[in-house]
Amino acid sequence: MTDEPNKKILQSYVFFEDKAFFVSTIERTFDVYGGSVRGLETLVWEWDADTRERGDLVHQAGGLSDHEEICRSVIKTGEMPQEAGQ
């Protein structure tokens, strides 16, 4: 597989009361046993809306459905969604 650069898929800024988060989903290459595959990854950072800077990485998930679930959860409760099975 060729070494393709990461590709931005979806970015969201999500707010709840005094909390803010930057949610980013990218397509990237993952190294796996025996080679590599392309797939989606969603990362969430704390966000300072005043300085427009990312803070600590607070959550990591899969693709677009995870991106949407994270945004809905933060808007509703201010928290990251629970992982499956918890």
pLDDT tens digits, 5-62: 999 999 999 999 999 999 999 999 998 898 899 999 999 999 999 999 999 999 999 9
d(C-alpha 25, C-alpha 2), whole Å: 21
At residue 34, the pLDDT reads: 87
Q: Are 1 and 35 in contact (CB under 8 A)?
A: yes
For residue 13, what are its two tokens? 């800024």
pLDDT of residue 2: 59
Mean per-residue pLDDT, 65-81: 95
Global pTM value: 0.87
SS3 75: helix
pLDDT value at residue 29? 93
Q: Any residues with CB less than 8 A from the CB of 26 and at least 6 apart, and which?
A: 6, 7, 8, 9, 40, 41, 43
